[in-house]
Amino acid sequence: MPITEIENATLDDIAESGSPQGVLAKASIPEVEVHDIAQQPRVVVVDSVQDPGNIGAIVRTAAAAQFDAVVATKGSADLWSPRAIRASAGTIFALDVLGNAEMSSVLDLLLNNGHTIVAAGVDGPSELKQLRNTERMTLVVGSEAHGLAAVASQTASSYVRIPMGPNVESLNVAVAAGLIMYQMQDNSVGQ
């Protein structure tokens, strides 16, 4: 792999962050199809989450929680934006990721491939601790502003909420997704 040194001023011009770390890499975006995603045992679908920092944090947590894929629906921030990649700490290259996806077709394909769909929202009828894991599971989270698309809550086998104190209306979507992903880890299948 060739290494090229550049001036700090040039790096400052290229970098979108206010304080670049002094290293720049060029990488190709892997081509992933929705059929590839459907074969994975643990998937997160992000619905209309517009903050690339939140998208990147969800990707990073998905990798940490040993999930296999992340899908962002139409209306979500670009998974491959510099801010999302930075927030993912590079873990976006370790997962299958697909952006600009059509929610209903993705959920249909996942269901047809044996996935249990778990929707998350503040008005979910079941507490997170009641969730029972299966071999293939997909978590669907929506934006804080708009919540989940109706198709997600209607398609879901489970609709869970995270219990919160009385003075808290909602959690940040990346935090909520992280809590649920850890609850969904493979080691608790069948419990």
* pLDDT for 33: 94
Q: What is the pLDDT of residue 32?
A: 94
Q: Which fold has domain 33-188?
A: Alpha/beta knot (3.40.1280)
Tokens of 39: 């074969």
Q: Residue 57 corresponds to which tokens in the numbers above?
A: 């944090």
Domain coordinates in residue numbering, the chain = 33-188
Angle at 76 between CA 75 and CA 78, to 5 degrees: 120
Strand, helix or coil for residue 126: strand
pTM above 0.75, yes or no: yes
Give the mean pLDDT per block of 10 residues along the chain (191 residues).
81 72 78 95 97 98 98 97 94 97 97 97 92 95 88 94 94 97 72 47
- Tell me what pLDDT residue 186 has: 54
How high is the pLDDT of residue 70? 99
Strand partners, 70: 44, 97
How would DSSP label each residue in 91-117? Answer: GGGGSEEEEEE-HHHHHHHHHHTTPEE
